[in-house]
Each structure stands twice: as C-alpha cells, then as structure tokens.
Amino acid sequence: MTKLAPHAKLKIGLPPGSVVYVGKKDNRPTRITLIDYDPQNVTEKTITTIEDCVAFKDRKSVTWINVDGLSDTDLIAKLDSLFGVHPLVLEDIVHTDQRPKMEDYGDYIYVVLKMLSCGAKPSEVVSEQLSLVIGSNYVLSFQEEAGDYFDNIRERIRKDKGRVRRMGADYLAHILLDTIIDNYFLVMENFEEDVTSVEDRLMTQKQIGVNEIHRLKRRLVVLRKQIAPVRELVGGLLRADSKLIHKATEVYFRDLYDHIISVMDTIESFRDIVSGLHDIYLTSINLKMNEIMKVLTMISTIFMPLTFIAGIYGMNFDHMPELRWEYGYAAILSIMLAIALLMLFYFKRKKWL
C-alpha cells in the first residue's frame, strides 16, 4: 500500500539544502541524455559528466537534459554551480516525497510533480517523481528511473511533428506536463473500470469483500493527494507572469489547466460514488441477514405447533379418548398437514417465500 506520510527519518537534523536521496536504493546508475534542437537541427547525446551540458547552455537552441536515476547526489549537487540552481531545489529534486508545486526563481522555474502510470498488475498505479527546471532556453528533467514515458516527445522533436521545434523551452515544458496529465486520464479510466467492476458485482448480489471497497477508497485518497496540488501548480504557471513563459505558449498552459480541472472533477465524482458503495454493501449484508432470519422463522413457525401437537398425544394420561379412537392417528396427521399448509399459504401471502 502506498505510504501517505512522507519519509521523515532520513532528514531530521540536517541543514536545509542538504541533497539527500530518499528513494529506492536499487536504482540503475544515473543516465543523462541531452537533446538540443532548433527549427533546423537536432543533436542527441548521451552524456557521462554533467559538465558537458554547460556548453549547450549559452546557445540559442533549446536544450533538454533528462536525468534518469537520482542516487548520484554528487552529480546533482553540481547543478548549483553549473546552472545556478538553488540548493533548496536540488534538495527537493532528490527528496522523492515532494508535494507537487511550482516555484519561480526568476532565472528558472522549478516544477515538481508525480508521473502516474498503470502498473503491470491490475489496479496498480506506479508513481514516480518528475522534477523540471525550466530555464530560458533549456529544460532539465529529473526522473527516478529510466523509462519510455517521454519517447513520443523525443520522436516528435526528431521528426518535427506538431510545432515543438519552432517553439521555445516553455513549450517543451508544456508538452512534458501535457504527457503526464494525459496519463492521469489513463489512470482515472483504469480506476473507473475497477469501480464499475465492484459496482456491478454489488448490484448483482455477488460475493465481494469489504476490503475491496476500502482499497478503492484508499487508492482514491492517494490519487487525490498526488493530483490535487497539480491544479495549483498549473494555475501558478498561468499566473506566473514570468519572462520565461511566452505569450504564445500561455494558451497551451490554459489548455493544460482545463485538463487538470477535468481530472479533479472526475476524482470528486468518484469520491461520491465510492462513499456510496459502502452504504450499498452494508445494506446488502442486512438484506442477506433478513433472508436467513426469514428461513429460521418459517421453520420455527411450521414445526413448533406440529411438535407441540405430537407432544400432547405423547402424554400418558389414562383418560385421553382420542387415543382410543380408531381413526385418531389419521385424523391428527391430517390436522397437522392442514396446519402446515395453512402456514405456507400465509407465508406466501406475506411474500416470505
């Protein structure tokens, strides 16, 4: 189950700005890829030392430096001197329990949020932290693990699809964020399938555990915690009034804002529905109990009087004239049958059968 409280123990007592990695320790080594492009040319490189990137910093072309794996904290600490990134930002990049946020540092904007994707197992959501440092002509992106999340963007840059090559670093940042939010939609679709499956089984009275509903609720709590601050983040970029975000890309960030509002609407709708599921579940348990009680009551109602009658004629009184009567036995059996049938008829009318 996803942890809700951020990891705290590793950092207690350290000065602010300490670059300490808190993520999974079995990462592959840090891998740096660089794409530099302008409308005419695209350069792609895999880099070994971060210092190689600095050359691209002063060119007019847009440079996208993507860092996979955050365990090499020394490398990341160097960004302070190389790109002038504030130590607090570097601390946040490697502390992978960040709440999504954007911070405008004047020369660059720092954005951190969660990349969500549907995991291999059904109803699993994989969450990874992405940090973006958006400069005037460069974007630094930091992922916890290497993956193919942004491959289609690389493809778009290479083949000059869409308008990515003609626009600046802010537009590159926008399509990175757009890809992440598109994946939020996927995760929500996936979640809806699970909700609908639980709903359907509940409605058709099939067996379902209370745990399943609680797990849906918990997943929604986690999704909400990870996605809700992104609205603020994108809203912050829209209102930032930063020279780094051009007039022409603003409309794209507005579009992004609509998307994230739409995701949040969906999450709120699911909250209502999931909270309703538990009510239905409780009701269905009560209905089943009623069913059992009915059976019990019917059995008692039919057999108690019959057994009582049998008891009467089992008494040993000397003077019980019926016992001597030749047809007494047949008569009493008939009476018993009649009583039983009357009861059944009564239950039928009371709709207990």
CA 167: distance to chain centroid? 33
Report the first-to-last Cα separation within the chain, whole angstroms: 45
- What is the distance between the alpha carbons of residues 101 and 12, in angstroms, rounded to a whole number? 22
241 vs 272, beta carbon nearer a copy of itself: 272
Separation of alpha carbons 319 and 243, rounded Å: 114
CB of 285 to a copy of itself, least distance (A): 5
Q: Shortest approach of a copy of itself to residue 296 CB, angstroms? A: 4
329 touches a copy of itself by CB under 8 A: yes
Give the DSSP letter of residue 145: S
Nearer to a copy of itself, 120 or 292 (CB): 292
Q: Kindly identify the residues of this chain, within the stretch 212-241, that bind a copy of itself according to CB under 8 A.
A: 214, 217-218, 221-222, 224-225, 228-229
29 versus 311: smaller Cβ distance to a copy of itself: 311
With respect to a copy of itself, which residue has the nearer C-beta, 32 or 130? 130
Tell me how many degrees the CA angle 78-72-226 measures, rounded to the nearest 5. 100
Angle at CA of residue 160, ends 34 and 247, nearest 5°: 85
Residue 59 or 161: which CB sits closer to a copy of itself? 161
Min dist CB 140 to a copy of itself, Å, is 19
Helix (H, G, I), strand (E, B) or coil at 158: helix
CB of 19 to a copy of itself, least distance (A): 12
Q: Kindly state whether residue 326 participates in binding a copy of itself, applying the rule CB under 8 A.
A: yes
Q: What is the CB-side half-sphere exposure of residue 250 using CA atoms within 13 A? A: 12
Determine the Cα–Cα distance for residues 57 and 36; give it in Å rounded to an integer. 10
Positive or negative, the CA dihedral 171, 176, 180, 182 is positive
Residues 65-104 close enough to bind a copy of itself by CB under 8 A: 86, 88, 97-99, 101, 103
Residue 295 found at the interface with a copy of itself (CB under 8 A) = yes
Say which amino acid occupies 134: I
User: Which of 47, 126, 146, 306 forms a contact with a copy of itself (CB under 8 A)?
Assistant: 306
Q: Which helix (H) or strand (E) holds 210?
A: helix 210-239
- Strand order across the 101-104 sheet: 42-47, 31-37, 62-68, 138-143, 125-134, 109-118, 101-104
Of the two residues 210 and 342, which places its CB atom closer to a copy of itself in the complex? Answer: 210
- Of 122-141, binders to a copy of itself (CB under 8 A) are none
Residues in contact with a copy of itself, total (CB under 8 A)?
Answer: 120
Question: x/- contact string, 240-279, with a copy of itself (CB under 8 A)?
Answer: -----------xx-xx--x--xx--xx--xx-xx--x-xx
Site string for a copy of itself, 173-212 (x = CB under 8 A): -xx--xx--xx-xx-xx-xx---x--x---x---x--xx-
Which of 71, 73, 123, 301 forms a contact with a copy of itself (CB under 8 A)?
301
